[in-house]
Structure formats: C-alpha cells, structure tokens
Structure 1
Amino acid sequence: MTQSKQSSFVPLSLALSVAAAMAPAAREAGAQALEETIVTARKREQDVQDVPLYIQALDERELRESMAKGFEDYSRDLTSVTFGTSGPGATTIVFRGAVSQPSGFDTISSSTLYLDEIPITRDGQNPDVRLYDIERLEALSWPQPTLYGAGSQSGTLKIVTNKPDTEETSGSVMVEGGYLAEGDPAYNLSGVLNLAVIPDELAIRLVGFHEEEGGYIDNVLGNTQFYSEESGSNYGAAGSVDRDNADRVKKNVNDWTVQGGRVYVRWQPNEDWTVDAGLIYQNTENGQFDFNPRAGDLKTVKFKEEGRKDEWYNLSLTIQGDLGFADLTIAGGTHERTIDYNLDSTAYMTQYRTNGLDLAEYYTGTRSFLDYYTCYYTAYCYNFVSAYDFGANPTGLISLDQEISSFAQEIRLVSKDTGTNKLNWLIGAFYEKNNNDWDYVSSVDDFAINGGQGAVFTYYGVAPTNDWFDQGYRSGLSYNGLPGNSLNGQWQDTETKAVFAEVSYRLTDALTVTGGGRWFEADR
C-alpha cells in the first residue's frame, strides 16, 4: 500500500464572455432552443442558456425520445463527451479528449461522474447508470477544480434522478421486446409509481427495471495454435498436443442483463425546506464482450468461460433550505460496489510463449531453448514470485474480485440570484473517504516444473539459492500454494477534505467576472 499526503490551494479566475452569445452552443443537444432547462452543474439552479460555460443538458423528454439507456446511447448526443469501454460498468468518460491512464485500481480520473449529489467516479470502471425515470443529464465540458476538485480537470457529468412529486399520485410502465437476427431475444420491463402520501408534504417514488439483451457473438471451435504467430507449429515437449475449446463452444455468448430499482422519499415540512432520502440499487451481469475478426464475423475462440458481475447501491440524504439571503444544501451518502469478472488469458499466455521462443531463437539460434518449455521471467517486477514455467500450449484464466466503498458529504451555502444583484457568491466544504480492495488470481493450465527455471538462473548468471523461490517453485508451488496459480491483491484508502468558494460580479448584463479557489488535503 502506498501512502501519500497532499495539500493544495487551487485558484481560479476567469473573465467570462457574453452569456447570450453562448446560448445556441449550449443548447446543441436540445430540440427547442428557447425552452427553459434548469441545471445545477454549477452548484446553483440556473437556466442552461444563462450559464457562461459550455454545458449541455438532456432532459427527460430528450432521453426518452432518443431511447437512451446508458453511456453508449447518450454520449452520441453530447458533442464534448466520448467514452471507452470494455463492457458494461467498465467505462472511461472522456471530455475534450483529455483522459488519464484507464486503470480501474489506482488512477485519478480526469472527469467526474455524479449521481444526484453523490460522486461515483471510478476511473476505467464508471458504473453505467440505467437511464430510466431520469430528470436530466448535465455535461459541463470545462475544468471545475474549484467546485468539484481534482477529478474534474476535463469536465463533469451529472445524472439527476426524478424525485417524488408531493402533489399527485401517478405511475407508468414500459414494456419492450425484440429479436436479434442470428441472436437471442431481448426484452425490457420497467415501471415507476409516485405516491403522494400526504399531499404537498410527503411522497414516495418507486422505480424498478429489468432488461435482458440477447447475445449475438459465437464462441467457435479452435485450438491454442489459433493465437500463435507460428500457426501449425508446436514447440512443446515431446508428447505435448494442442488444446482445443470443444467444451466451450457456444452460440450467443455476449448476453447482458441489468436489473435494479430506486426508492426515494421526499418530505417538505414547509415551503422553505425539503428533505430527500434515497436508495438506488443496480446489478449488471454480462457474458463475453468482444469478438475476434480472425475467427470470423462476430465470432471468437475462447478456452475459458468469461463473464462480469457488477452490483452496487447508493444511500443518500439531501437537505435543502431557504435561509432568505441564501440557499443551504447538506448532502451526503454512501456508495457500495462489488465487481467480479473472469477473463480468458489464453491469448496472453500464448503471446508470452511465442515471444519467448522468438527471443530464444534470436539469442541462441534454436527454439529448443529451456528444455522445450517457454519460461518467461518478468524482470520488470523485480520479484521472483513472478516467474512461471509452463508447457507449449497453455490456457489461462484471470479472475478479479473487487470491493469498493465510499462515503461523501458536502455542505454549501449559495447566495440568492435575483437577477438584479451584481454580486453572487458560493461557499462550501467537502469530505470524501474511499476504500478499494481487490484480489487478482491468474491460473495457468499446462504448468510444468521441468527445470526451465534453472535456465533462467543460468541465463542471468545467478546461482540458485535456498530461498522461497527455489524451495516453493521447484516443489511445484506458486504464490498461493496451488500449482499454476498466482495471487495478487491491493487495498487502497483515500481521504479528502476540502473547502471552496466562488464569487461572481456582474459588470454588465452581458459580462460577468468570476473568481474562486479550493483548498484541499488528500491522504492516499
């Protein structure tokens, strides 16, 4: 575990141009340019046409008409946003082309993802929130370190859910179905029920959804030589044979299921105060995600069953009050998430084998180096435990179990903007604590203890010693005591404290100057 501590003050001073001139650009995503759309990405309620920054907003009607359900759908309507993904729940959000290293473990995202008032950002593994019964989606394509901190260097994406309506009881149901050519059926069943328990005071909103998309990628018959550049050749020990995937041949392996729901309670004791409490749950499961063009159109060759399960929930509490001179917001919540996935690493292992044979031939003139076995040594790890010795046709499986837990709380005070006052201000404090634990297991079939490791010592000019590697490796044991398996793990705790402030002064009706700053302390 690596520990670091950082304190900093981030200043921000901008002279903002004419807001009215930016309105057409800000509403590119909307069909009705003159329709008022209220957004809160700047931590205060504003008409999107009055925000002097590049911001796009998709309201409930636009999301429904475009049939947007996730990142892949709504990113098409946000000109400043792109994304990269390796499957549902494994997405990197990119604003203006700025992206950090897409790792799901220890990197800081260049963009921020908010679900209502709770940050749920996870670089490379942002949860794909199901867009059903969503009030609006806001994309602020501009650095926002003052208001959102270090994770918003390129932009901020905010998903705002519909809250309970205390005035009336209502509900709706959505049913969809379809069939993929050369694939499996797909269907969607979703519903929402709003209950005005005490009119104008207390209401509950219930949302549920279940959707299945049929697969259309086939896992076809193949052998381990499929991944080798030396197709048809076998450089293994005498008697070794190619492995095939006959036991894994299956049609439509990339099926996908998402289910979950939301429960929100709104209490309005009077006209000045509102309390919202919510629970959001979502579970996504999918099979294999990609295909290999070498195997054919929408086909692949896999030796292990792949899959991913992503389960998470949010608990939140938001209190909003009108103090007369300013609006007070106190928001906090927890985000708990579990990710499990299996990935076929046969291609990875075969690539090491092929590269090892190529290197052996380059340095020795023969591919029979290392007793007919490929033994690769990951010297860059500087760790003897990273050495493996396996046969010519290995198959492998990578498994990851990840637990993510976070708590965030923010309190802020925002001055009233009457439209006539020249000075507006915002002050706030933020606290967040994150915990990320993961266990990584790599298993290799055709693992061999046949002297290859001795050749590594000889090659590097090092005499074998009576250390753990010599004892455990030669006796057929690996890191966790099981032949052919290695275990790795990491835990990461982060804690962030911050205070921030922003002041705006309206010079004219068309020109406003804004300045602000953020002090933060981060322990990692």
Structure 2
Amino acid sequence: MLCALALCAEPVLLTSAALAREQARSVDIPAGPLGSAIDRFSAATGISVGLPGDMPHVMTRRVAGNIPPDMILRKLLAGTDLRAVRISATLYRIERAPKVPMLRPAPSPLPTPVATPPGDIIVTAQKRPQILRDVPLSVSVLSFAPLARSHTPSTRDISLDLEGLAMTNLGPGRNRQFIRGVADSPFNGLSQSTVAVQVDEARVTFNAPDPDLRLIDVDRVELLKGPQGPLYGSGALGGIYHIVTRKPEFEGISGSVRLSGEAVQHGQPGTGAEGVLNLPLVDDRLAVRAAGYRFVNGGWIRNSGAKRGTNSAETVGLRLGIRWRPAERWTVDAGFALQDLNSRDSQYVTASDDTLGRDNAFAEPTDNDFKLLHGTIKGVIGALEVTSATSYVDHGFDYILDASNAATAFGLTGPVRFEDQRQYSVFNQELRLASSGRDHWLVGLSYLQATTRGGAQVVNAGDERQTVETYDRRVIEYAAFGEATVRIVDRLGVTLGARLFHSIAQDGTGDEPTITPMRISKTVLSPSVALSLDLGGRGLLYLRYARAMRPGGLTPADMAASRQFDADELSSLDLGMRRSSHDGRLSLSASLYFTHWDEIQSDYLLANGLVSTRNAGRGVIVGGEITTEWTIGQGFTLSAGGSAQSARLTRATDGVELDDRRLPIAPTLSGRMALAKSFILSDNWRGQAAIQANYIGKARLSFDDDLDRNMGNYTVASAHAELSCEAWTLGVRVDNLLDVRGDSFAFGNPFSIRAAPQYTPLRPRTLMLSVARSW
C-alpha cells in the first residue's frame, strides 16, 4: 500500500489552461436561490461546494449546456460579488471576490466568535477538506472574523463557546484541556495529554500544558470530539483541538491593526496591540503573511506577602507564513510562530472565593515560551493528492511555587520555594496519499519524537538548593494509518479507519541524553468505524465507534518506588445528528456518547506535594450534547447549546468497585445562550451587538479522597458591540457582566492544598475598548 497523505489543501484558484482540461458536464440549472442552484450543481457533477459561513441570499441565473464544472460555477455566480475557489478535485469553496483596487475596507461586523452551525462550511481536522455536514463524527467549529473585534480570545475564552471542551484554570500557560469528560488529572505531570493540539498540519503538544496561543489572524478552531487514534495516534483519547490559521494570499496587499485597552474591576488596567500584513511578492506565485501582537492583562489577585503584587500577565507573539506555488495545483507552505507568555503570579486564594488576595512568602510566576517551525508540501500526481508535513516545536515551561508548607518533607526549614524548569520538544513528520474521487481514501506514514528534559529544585532563604525531580524522557512513535469512505447505497456510507503504531519510551539522566535500562515499548492498533446516513442533503445521521490508547510510561527518575505506569485504553460509541432547515435559517446538532476507559493514567500528588503518575482504575462516561442556531430575521440570531454527562471512576486498579468518584474538571451540566443583532445605521455605518450567558455546573478537583474538592456551579454573562464605518471599527466588550465570584478551579498550589482550602475566583468584571483599522 502506498504510504502517504490526504490533501488538506488550501484553496487553489484554477487558471484558464487548467480549466480547459476539466471534463464537461451536461447541466440545466434553472434560475433561483443560490442554495438551490448549488444543490443541483452537486447532484449533476458529484462535486461538493462549501461556504465559510451562512448561505448568501442571492439569486443566480439559468445555466444550461455541456460545460466544465468551473465554468458552471462562474456562470452561476456572474453578477454577484462571489467567486468559486477550487479546494480539491471534488470540492470547491464559495467566497467573497476581492475588490479592485485591492484596498480592502473592513468586513461587515461579525459577532465575537460563536459556534458555527452545521452547514456548508469546510473543515480540515480529519486531514482532508470536508463539508461539515458530511463528517460522520462530532465536530464543533468556531469561525472568526478576518479581524477580531471586541477582543482577541484565549483558549479558555473560547471554551465557553464549544460544547464538550473543559479547561483547568491554574492561569495563562499552566492550563490543561479536556473533551467530553476524558479528564485524568488537574495536575501538570509527565503523562501524555488526552487532547492533541494541532496548528494547521503541526502537532504542537505531547505532554506539555496548553501553550495558550492567542488566536490572531485565525480562520477557525475545529474541535473533534471522541478518540481520534486512527488519524492522530496516542494523545488523542479525548479529541483534537485544531487551530486553522489564515494563509498568505496572492491577490493583493492587505492588512489590519487593532489597539485595545481594558479595565478590571478590583484590579489593574491592561493594553493590547496587534497587526496583520499580507504581502504578495511574485504575482500568483509567492506571498508572505505576518501577524504580531502584545497584550498586557491586568491582574486581580493581590499577594500581599510578595514583591510582585498581582497576577498580571504579558503575552508577546509573532507568526510568519510563506506560501509558494511552484506549479499549478502544487503549494508549499512554511513559516514559524513565536509566543512568550509571562505571568507575574498565580491566581488562587485561600480564604474564600469571595476574596481577591492571599499572603504568600513568594510570588509564583510562570514563563511559557513557545516556538514552532513548520513546512508543508501539497500537490496532485495523476489521480492522487500528496501531502508532506514537517514540524518542530520547542516549548519551555518554567514556574515557581511557594513550598514553605512542605519544607520539612525535604529536610528544610523556613520559607522555601519550588523552582521547576522544563523543556519540551516535538518533532513530527507525516506523509500522506489520498484519492480525489467521491469515495475517499487516504493512507499515510508518520514519525514523532517527543522529549521532556529539565528538573525541579527546592530553595531555602539561604539560597541552598536541593534537586527533587529530574526530567529526561524521550518518546518515539512510528505509525502507518489509513481511512476510507465507501458509499453502500445511495445515502448510506461507511467510514473505516485504523492506525498501527509502535511506541518507545526511554528514560535518561545527566546533561546529555544517556538512556538507562528503563525502556518501555508497545505496539498499538487504534481502529474506528462510522456509519452515516445522508438526510437529503440537509444533514447527516451517524453512528461511530473508535478506540485509542496511550502507551505506558515512566515517572521522574527520582521517584524510583513507583517508576512505571501501564498503557490505558479508551473506546467510545457516538450517535449523532446534524440537520438544517430547508432555508438554512435553523440548524441543530445533537449527540449521545458512551465511553469506557481502562487503566486510566493519572497524575497525582505525593505526600510532599510533588506530582507522580499511576494507573487509577476504570472509568465510564455517559453524556449528551445539543447545539442550535436560529436566524430569526431582522438581523437577530439566537444560538444555544448544552451538555450533560456522568464521568466516573467506577473501579480501582485492584478491581474494587467505587461509588461517587467523579472524574476531575468535567462539569456534570453546562449550557450557553447568545442573542446577536446586526444593524445598519446609514450608508456608511453598520454594527452589531450581542449578549451571552454561560452556566458551568458542578465539578470535582480529583477522585482522591483527600483532594475531592467541589468547584463550578456558577453563571457568567458577557456583552459586546461593534460599530464600523468603511475601514474603521470601534468595539466595546464587558466580560463577567454581573461580577460573579464563582470558584472556577479548586486548586492553586500543590504544596499547601492539603493544609487549607484553595479557590480560584473568576476574573472580575472587565471592560474592554478597541479601535481597529483594515486596508
């Protein structure tokens, strides 16, 4: 079988020479609404057409004759401000055509990112372009305006808009993500993450915390729910968090800038600046795109015992992309991304969640430095689509904690601080081949190497240092994978996937990697199968089974008493449906899921406050989700979503049946509702406003008896408005509108959590103002 890769290609606009080679199709499409015309086009040609958003309300003219597909679309869209862009041999995207001259006014105001309803939008998280309505698994998509308006969201911000995504709240650069209750621990140990973070084709995390990349110049975020082992391997037990960036464009120079300021009630002010520039270098061949930003977020937790004062944070980042088209239907994308996130202190308190202060001997800063290099080649050879993707991540994660409460456990007295320095790296190479026909298949080979190096020390007032942890670990994975979709009958299809990978975990010590006899290797097969029923072109009903596994590993070298933990395995059954009304104004997505999790790998606290890893036992997760969006009319749009789940540890490793041991972090209930209104004030002025409320239900910190703290059970609201005139946009946003003091995370410092209750209050009411200019 060929080793290989599926085309997740970016749009490539066909030239007239290429069009001449397209096979003509006999069509007779009557004049009418664009949606009806597209349905008739797809039925006649077998080619799918997607849109990045709602279907525009435009009329098309009649098109009849024996005509190539691209020319059919050109004739249908003639006289509109739309164009058709080719994605692959069987997929086109309709988008707004660039204006001439290429000085671009600001786009029409769009809401702050909200979950995009199922419909004719394109997703690529399954390593190929797909219409969302045709994807036989649970997917949520969050689309972004070309220029973020009232604020630039962080990962934790958008978790409020995506059903199924939960996060810890240790602070920027310290958080962990979980999907659909597949949560093993709130602690940042060495176990592999249950959610894989992807940036375009690059795998950017293995066992590191979420880098909290700011979503500047991002097209969308795709959340794949449930195990994704067949296409992504280990580290995808819960799903995939996929960031899709905007690529360089050949059409013309464009850019945007935005300045913002914020005021935090009971806290400090903050500022922000961001800019984007797209620059073609060679006509229709070479272009670059750059994005840069700096944000200073005001702190609101005051530490009266430390010199640094509050938990303010600074984030500085840069991303550069280069796109080269050496030949028709071939593209080369390369670039790098840098982000440096520095938080001056942590954000927990010890008295109650109503207070906004504490008294620690030391500040607890975090330094999270992220670097990504990547390159992707995509093209077509005959009937095969080829992709080669290479990426390398260098990720530094340093933090300090006040360990005075655990001083005696390390043979020290007086104030003691804990200093942890970790260096993560992930190298990933993948080669894929894919078909270009209606019955899709892809095969591929991949190589991944992830390393974790560093260590931790405790330091007393006399600057005496004692090493308490050593990190020197390397994990290598070799994999072959494939997936194929076959149509059984007219509307019923089956998708089969599998990944065979061999994992090697090695543990070393010293300044240079010197591998010790501690070595674990395992060969794993992760399968999936999905049945899908097309609901007349307006939706999909699907049933999916998938399995994924994390190989076992080794705890830090200084914890020899509990060095090895075994592999864990997760299987899930997902029954779901996506459906939209005939006019596209109402959409609904719903799913039910059952997950069985064996030998759960879990980071846990030792008596001295250090983190180790063990197998905790067996878990079961049962839940359901629903998302809907309704375009009411007169500019109003209503969206809502919710989830309910039971996620429990049911048996310990010795087989003893357990009662009421909830898996951590995941709330039992959650829900959101948002109402948006678009309006036009005059020929030049237009705007939109929205209000949103979120309920976060009760959750637990850990299934360990002495750490089973309650959290959650609060409701927060936000509101925003934007007003645009030509290229200028003014924005205002208020988060935590009612200044709620809910406990978002019942943990802050592992060395003192057993000594006193800890709380992580929500960020107080925050007002943000912004002004943006695009061209």
1:406 maps to 426
Q: How far 1:68 sits from its partner (Å)?
A: 4.7
Alignment of 1:226-305 (within 5 A): 245=305, 248=306, 251=309, 253-294=310-351, 297-305=355-363
Alignment of 1:75-224 (within 5 A): 75-123=159-207, 125-220=209-304
Q: How far 1:62 sits from its partner (Å)?
A: 9.3
2:499 maps to 518
Q: How far 1:324 sits from its partner (Å)?
A: 3.6
Asked if 1:388 corresponds to 2:407, the answer is no
1:333 maps to 391
Secondary structure of the structure 2 residue equivalent to 1:496: strand
Q: Is the 8 A contact 2:146 2:219 kept in 1?
A: no
The letter for the 1-side match of 2:411 is Y
Asked if 1:440 corresponds to 2:524, the answer is no
**Greater helix proportion:** 1
Q: How far 1:65 sits from its partner (Å)?
A: 5.6
Secondary structure of the structure 2 residue equivalent to 1:82: strand
Alignment counterpart, residue 380 of structure 2, candidates 310, 322, 332: 322
The letter for the 1-side match of 2:349 is N
* Alignment CA distance shift 1:414-1:309 (3 Å): same
Q: Is the 8 A contact 1:102 1:124 kept in 2?
A: no
Distance 2:250 2:502 in 1: 40
Secondary structure of the structure 2 residue equivalent to 1:152: coil
Q: Is the 8 A contact 2:455 2:467 kept in 1?
A: no
1:235 maps to none
* Alignment CA distance shift 1:33-1:139 (3 Å): closer
Q: How far 1:414 sits from its partner (Å)?
A: 1.5
**Greater strand proportion:** 2
Secondary structure of the structure 1 residue equivalent to 2:252: coil
The letter for the 2-side match of 1:433 is Q
Distance 1:118 1:171 in 2: 25
Secondary structure of the structure 2 residue equivalent to 1:49: helix
Distance 2:114 2:297 in 1: 29
Secondary structure of the structure 2 residue equivalent to 1:508: coil
* Alignment CA distance shift 1:41-1:63 (3 Å): farther
Q: Is the 8 A contact 1:191 1:208 kept in 2?
A: yes
Secondary structure of the structure 2 residue equivalent to 1:406: strand
- Mean Cα deviation higher: 501-510 or 30-39: 30-39
Distance 2:237 2:458 in 1: 35
Q: Is the 8 A contact 1:176 1:189 kept in 2?
A: yes
Secondary structure of the structure 2 residue equivalent to 1:436: strand
Q: How far 1:346 sits from its partner (Å)?
A: 2.3
TM-superposition CA deviations, 1:249-308 (whole Å, max 9, x none): 664x11100001111110012221000011100000001122324287101111012211
Larger Rg belongs to: 1
Distance 2:389 2:412 in 1: 54
Secondary structure of the structure 2 residue equivalent to 1:77: coil
Secondary structure of the structure 1 residue equivalent to 2:153: coil
Distance 1:389 1:315 in 2: 43
Alignment counterpart, residue 442 of structure 2, candidates 404, 408, 426: 426
Distance 2:330 2:500 in 1: 29
Q: Given the two structures, how large is their TM-score scaled by the length of structure 1? A: 0.71
Alignment of 1:346-361 (within 5 A): 346-349=404-407
Q: Which runs of 5 or more structure 1 residues have no equivalent in the other structure?
A: 1-22, 221-244, 350-374, 377-386, 447-481
Q: Is the 8 A contact 1:100 1:107 kept in 2?
A: no
Distance 1:273 1:406 in 2: 27
Secondary structure of the structure 2 residue equivalent to 1:73: helix
The letter for the 2-side match of 1:270 is A
Secondary structure of the structure 1 residue equivalent to 2:351: helix
Secondary structure of the structure 1 residue equivalent to 2:176: strand
Q: Which runs of 5 or more structure 2 residues have no equivalent in the other structure?
A: 1-49, 55-112, 506-775
The letter for the 2-side match of 1:411 is L
Distance 1:76 1:65 in 2: 17
Alignment counterpart, residue 364 of structure 2, candidates 283, 306, 310: 306
Secondary structure of the structure 2 residue equivalent to 1:179: strand
Q: Is the 8 A contact 1:305 1:344 kept in 2?
A: yes
Q: Is the 8 A contact 2:321 2:333 kept in 1?
A: yes
> How many residue pairs get matched?
395
Secondary structure of the structure 2 residue equivalent to 1:91: coil
Alignment counterpart, residue 470 of structure 2, candidates 489, 495, 504: 489
Distance 2:117 2:496 in 1: 29
2:130 maps to 46
* Alignment CA distance shift 1:331-1:486 (3 Å): closer
Distance 1:168 1:176 in 2: 27
Distance 1:406 1:310 in 2: 16
Alignment of 1:16-95 (within 5 A): 33=117, 36-61=120-145, 64=148, 67-95=151-179
Percent identity over paired residues? 30
TM-superposition CA deviations, 1:181-208 (whole Å, max 9, x none): 3322211100000001112110011110
Q: Is the 8 A contact 1:397 1:443 kept in 2?
A: yes
* Alignment CA distance shift 1:436-1:341 (3 Å): same
* Alignment CA distance shift 1:501-1:116 (3 Å): same
Distance 1:490 1:250 in 2: 29
Q: How far 1:36 sits from its partner (Å)?
A: 2.6
Q: Given the two structures, how large is their TM-score scaled by the length of structure 2? A: 0.49
Q: How far 1:173 sits from its partner (Å)?
A: 0.2
